[in-house]
Copies of this chain bind each other. A is one copy, B any other.
Amino acid sequence: MFEEKISELSLSTSPSFIRAILKATESKDIISFAGGLPNPISFPKKELKESTNRVIDNYGSKVFQYSQTAGLVELREYIANHLSKTQGMKVTYEDIIITTGSQQALDLIGKVLIDPGDTIILEEPGYLGAIQAFSQYKPDMCAISLENDGMDMNKLESKLKTSNAKFIYVVPNFQNPSGLTYSQEKRDNLMALVQKYNCILVEDDPYGDLKFEGNPYGYISKTDYAGSILLGTFSKTVTPGMRIGYMVIRDAELRLRINTAKEAADLHSNIFSQYILWDYLTNNDISKHISRIRMLYQKQCNTMLSSMETFFRENTKFTRPEGGMFIWVTLPENVVAMDLFEITKEKNVVFVPGNPFYVDGRNANTMRLNYTNSDEEIIVEGIKRLSKSMKELCDV
Binding site for B on A (CB under 8 A): 1-3, 5-10, 13-16, 19, 23, 35, 37-38, 40-41, 43, 45, 48-49, 52-53, 56, 60-69, 100-101, 103-104, 106-107, 111-115, 118, 129, 132-133, 136-137, 166-167, 200, 226-227, 235, 239-243, 251, 253-254, 256-257, 259-261, 263-273
- Chain B residues closer than 8 Å to A263, beta-carbon distance: 15-16, 19, 132
Contact (Cβ within 8 A) A49 B43: no
Residue from B49, B166, B256 within 8 A of A53 (CB atoms): B49
Please measure, in the bound complex, the distance between the C-alpha atom of A8 and the C-alpha atom of B9, giving whole angstroms.
14
Please measure, in the bound complex, the distance between the C-alpha atom of A7 and the C-alpha atom of B120, giving whole angstroms.
13
Q: How far is the CB of A70 from chain B (nearest CB, A)?
A: 10
Contact (Cβ within 8 A) A40 B13: no
Least CB separation from A67: chain B residue: B241
With contact pairs A2-B251, A264-B136 given, residues A64 and B49 touching in the complex (Cβ less than 8 Å): no
User: What copy number does this chain have within its complex?
Assistant: 2
With contact pairs A43-B65, A61-B45 given, residues A112 and B251 touching in the complex (Cβ less than 8 Å): no
Least CB separation from A11: chain B residue: B257
Known: A10-B112, A64-B241. 8 other contacts (CB 8 A): A2-B253, A6-B257, A7-B111, A38-B65, A45-B60, A48-B64, A49-B53, A66-B235
Least CB separation from A112: chain B residue: B10
Residue from B10, B61, B271 within 8 A of A40 (CB atoms): B61
- Chain B residues closer than 8 Å to A113, beta-carbon distance: 5-7, 10
- Chain B residues closer than 8 Å to A107, beta-carbon distance: 264-266
Least CB separation from A118: chain B residue: B7
With contact pairs A15-B260, A53-B49, A272-B239 given, residues A251 and B40 touching in the complex (Cβ less than 8 Å): no
Contact (Cβ within 8 A) B241 A19: no
- Chain B residues closer than 8 Å to A100, beta-carbon distance: 100, 265-266, 269-270
With contact pairs A6-B257, A270-B273 given, residues A37 and B65 touching in the complex (Cβ less than 8 Å): yes
- Chain B residues closer than 8 Å to A106, beta-carbon distance: 264
